[in-house]
Amino acid sequence: MLSLNEALERLYRAHAGELRAFARRRVGPHEAEDIVQEAYVRALQEGRVASISYQKAYLFHIAANLTIDTIRMAQVRSRHASDAAVGPPSAEPAQEPESSIESYVELRQLCAHLEDLSPTCREAFLLYWVEDLDQSETARRLGVTVRTVNRHLTRAVEHLHSRVSR
């Protein structure tokens, strides 16, 4: 049985590069490394990383939440910088951007709906849509044919579409 530290170290070696690329596409290179480190710190603080079946998906879920937080903080800093440049604050309070909140809610719903899929179907979806691999690379990683990957992706998209359009 692996200790928590050994499990986390293996997990870091296996997925840190992919997490970094994922975060870099969303928030840029400067914040990406911080997000990756924070994702692993949060996974370690949970203390159950070794017992989670879908560790990679769990890490990407944490990283996605952290990128949303980073984007929100950047928006707040930007708003404060522009307020300081314009002058004293007006009597009207600033409105929180709805798109960030909506994106967060949609991401949470997507993650919940992904749990309904079979493990292989979910992994195919994550490899293709989250990690941005093509179908042939996804097939190679899963040890299946491209046609099987295509069927999994179709099934996943249909499943998600049926859940979202309710």
| Max CA distance (Å), the chain | 62
Give the pLDDT band of residue 7 (cuts 50, 70, 90): low
Q: State percent of the chain over pLDDT 70.
A: 73
CATH number at 1-91: 1.10.1740
Per residue in 40-62, pLDDT (tens digit) is 888 777 766 666 677 788 888 88
Instruction: Please choose, from the candidates 125, 132, 105, the residue with its C-alpha nearest in 3D space to the C-alpha of residue 19.
Output: 132
Residue 139, pLDDT score: 92
Instruction: Please state the rounded mean pLDDT for residues 79-85.
Output: 62
- Domain 98-166 bears CATH identifier 3.40.630.40: no
Reading the block at residue 5, the tokens are 């530290």
For CATH 1.10.1740, list the domain ranges present in the chain.
1-91
The H or E element containing residue 73 is helix 55-86
Q: Residue 16 has what pLDDT?
A: 87
**Residue 166: per-residue pLDDT:** 59
- The backbone torsions φ and ψ at residue 96, rounded to the nearest 5 degrees and listed phi first, read -70, 135
pLDDT number for residue 146: 92
At 108-161, the pLDDT tens digits run 777 788 888 888 998 888 888 777 788 899 899 999 999 999 999 899 888 877
In order of 7, 11, 72, 104, 125, the CA distances from 131 in angstroms are 22, 16, 23, 19, 9
CATH 1.10.10.10 boundaries in the chain: 98-166
Which amino acid makes up residue 87? G
pTM: 0.47
